[in-house]
């Protein structure tokens, strides 16, 4: 992967603080023009769809992209507020030239991001991102007036996506009477998620469904489960569903408010498909996946492979192996036989359908997977360079000490976040106290290294 490409694109499109480069109106307009030139080119007029989450800055980003695309002669279809996986689905089924998502996923409102889908609904590959970045080096030149693109609303988008999600489970009445709480993270799924669950017969209490442009992911959603856990027990619900700001992540809580993370949900999906003969091949997790997931799947005779962290890497490994099921502990769950990207709503529907089919609670399904104690500490990075921090001698010494203390059954992983200015420290092993201590000691060494290089 080229260094040049990394000047603009990160591990999941472009992401950063609003008002700072590259997320300024001028640069985003230029980006829209460059993307239009690369993704549509001479196949004009062509159409690219744009959707966004609920951040206040989404309006500016949307207008800037629209202006740039129209300048390149590309027509724009506006999806407005729509989950990321819905944009992938609608791009594919409407045969648009590409889809653009304006979202910073699980980040707070001060950040935003831009990511692209191909006409087939897949995330843009490295070569296409590099071509867009290369085009950005050229000056924006507007097409002659008679060749400019135009913008229209994409009517019925929410309804089309809801019907698609409903079609992914066999029996549309299978959720009849099931009491649920859904936390929409004050994000892109705040309308579609409660509506489709109700249409499937569930009794739904919604929280995190009052976005104001500033409260996306704030104390709610898949990264903050306290409110959901309380709401589930208060309503006497069977379980709770937590989405993130753009609707591509899923974390759940059981009837007593305990967290069921992405690893356990992935195990539930795999076990359910295995039991009904619907699992093709094995399962892809990541370097962060709990070793208990691998052990649990092995007990069922299901192959397991790890990719680098990030849903794009999970997808790449799935395609490479010809498998259909993969995901991350953070809640990106990919069912390639249903959608081309991680889809929190579709994953939730499959888990719920599995509960009703098996006549078991979420806690019972989750308990079938063994777990190994794991601790993760996020260390703010600020302006320090991650490679210098992680190369520091004190960090290497702390890692070596931790690996020695954890023994053969333990492991340590350090990595810079691809979406936030953080270093993530993970330790895993058989002894919970030793795991916590190892993660804490390494995190302290990372903090010391950051202070030394700033």
Residue of 105, 174, 307, 449 with catalytic role: 105
Residue pair 343/321 in contact (Cβ under 8 Å)? The answer is no
Residue from 296, 237, 314 nearest 305 by CA: 314
Mapping DSSP to helix (H, G, I), strand (E, B) and coil, where does residue 452 land? Answer: helix
Give me the sheet containing 111-118, strands edge to edge: 14-17, 111-118, 98-102, 47-52, 75-81, 151-153
Residue pair 446/423 in contact (Cβ under 8 Å)? The answer is yes
Q: What is the dihedral of CA 292, 298, 300, 301, to 10 degrees?
A: 160
Classify each residue of 128-153 as buried b or exposed e, where b means 16 or more C-beta atoms within 10 Å of its C-beta. bbbbbbebbeeebeebeeeeebebee
Residue that is written with structure tokens 């800055």 in the block: 57
Q: Which helix (H) or strand (E) holds 27?
A: helix 25-39
Question: Alpha helices of 78-205 — where are they, by DSSP H?
Answer: 84-93, 126-136, 157-166, 192-199
Report d(CA 370, CA 443) in Å as an integer.
27
Report d(CA 420, CA 316) in Å as an integer.
22
Report d(CA 408, CA 189) in Å as an integer.
43
Mapping DSSP to helix (H, G, I), strand (E, B) and coil, where does residue 427 land? Answer: strand
Residue from 164, 125, 38 nearest 319 by CA: 125
The reply to whether 105 belongs to the active site is yes
Residue 192 backbone dihedrals phi, psi, to 5 degrees: -70, -35
Question: Alpha helices of 244-361 — where are they, by DSSP H?
Answer: 262-275, 291-299, 311-321, 344-358
Q: State both tokens at 359.
A: 């006549």
Residue pair 40/98 in contact (Cβ under 8 Å)? The answer is yes
Report d(CA 179, CA 204) in Å as an integer.
6
* Residues labelled catalytic: 105
């Amino acid at each position: 992967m080229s260094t040049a490409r990394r000047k603009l694109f990160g591990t999941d499109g472009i992401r950063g603080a609003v008002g700072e480069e590259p997320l300024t109106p001028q640069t985003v307009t230029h980006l829209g023009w460059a993307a239009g030139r690369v993704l549509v080119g001479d196949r004009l007029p062509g159409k690219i769809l744009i959707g966004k989450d609920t951040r206040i800055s989404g309006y500016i980003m949307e207008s800037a992209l629209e202006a740039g695309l129209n300048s390149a002669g590309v027509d724009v279809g506006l999806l407005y507020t729509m989950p990321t996986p819905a944009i992938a689905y609608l791009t594919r089924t409407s045969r648009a030239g590409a889809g653009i998502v304006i979202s910073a996923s699980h980040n707070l409102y001060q950040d935003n991001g831009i990511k692209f889908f191909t006409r087939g609904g897949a995330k843009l590959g490295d070569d296409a991102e590099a071509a867009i970045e290369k085009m950005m080096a050229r000056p924006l030149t507007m097409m002659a007036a008679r060749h400019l693109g135009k913008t229209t609303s994409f009517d019925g988008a929410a309804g089309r996506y809801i019907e698609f999600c409903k079609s992914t489970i066999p029996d549309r009445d299978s959720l009849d009477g099931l009491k649920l709480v859904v936390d929409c993270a004050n994000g892109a799924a705040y309308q579609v998620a409660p509506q489709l669950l109700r249409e499937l017969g569930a009794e739904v209490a919604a929280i995190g469904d009052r976005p104001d442009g500033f409260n996306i992911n704030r104390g709610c959603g898949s990264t903050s489960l306290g409110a959901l856990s309380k709401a589930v027990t208060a309503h006497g619900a069977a379980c709770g569903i937590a989405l993130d700001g753009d609707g591509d992540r899923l974390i759940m809580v059981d009837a007593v408010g305990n967290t069921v993370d992405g690893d356990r949900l992935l195990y539930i999906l795999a076990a359910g498909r295995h039991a009904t003969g619907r699992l093709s091949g094995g399962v892809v997790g990541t370097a962060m996946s709990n070793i208990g997931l691998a052990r649990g799947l092995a007990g069922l005779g299901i192959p397991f492979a790890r990719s680098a962290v990030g849903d794009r890497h999970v997808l790449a490994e799935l395609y490479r192996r010809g498998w259909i099921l993969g995901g991350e502990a953070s809640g990106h769950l990919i069912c390639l036989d249903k959608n081309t990207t991680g889809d929190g709503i579709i994953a939730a529907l499959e888990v719920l359908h599995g509960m009703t089919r098996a006549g078991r609670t979420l806690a019972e399904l989750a308990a079938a997977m063994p777990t190994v104690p794991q601790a993760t500490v996020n260390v703010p990075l600020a302006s320090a360079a991650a490679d210098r921090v992680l190369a520091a001698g004190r960090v290497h010494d702390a890692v070596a000490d931790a690996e020695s203390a954890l023994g053969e059954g333990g492991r340590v992983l350090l990595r810079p976040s691809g979406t936030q200015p953080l270093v993530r420290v993970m330790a895993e092993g058989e002894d919970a106290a030793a795991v916590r201590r190892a993660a804490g000691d390494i995190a302290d060494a990372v903090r010391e290294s950051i202070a030394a290089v700033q």
